[in-house]
Amino acid sequence: MDKEQIINIIESALSSGDKTPGLFDLPKILAIKSEFQACQSIDNFLDIIEEHRDLISKAFGLSGDVIDSTVEKIKSFENQ
């Protein structure tokens, strides 16, 4: 697993959103970032995304399709 490459995919998706996390969402987003940095497997990344899907979508202004696409890109690393 190339952890940096997966984080780059996630960051790319987040930057494609039309919002920036607000003051009250920022601590939660930073906590999620810490969880990502501690991931040891692809399943860990996917679990975190699914667990915090609503917050990520709301805070960054992402559609469900963008999140689904990101999940699929991450899943493609399972076969490598």
- How many CA atoms are closer than 13 Å to the CA of 33, on its beta-carbon side? 10
- Local confidence pLDDT in tens for the 80 residues of the chain: 789 999 999 999 999 999 999 999 999 999 999 999 999 999 999 999 999 999 999 999 999 999 999 999 999 987 66
Is 19 in a helix, a strand, or coil?
Answer: coil
Is 62 in a helix, a strand, or coil?
Answer: coil
- Residue 1's pLDDT is 73
Q: pTM for this one? A: 0.89
- The tokens for 74 are 């991450």
User: Which of 6, 1, 2, 3 is CA-nearest to residue 70?
Assistant: 6
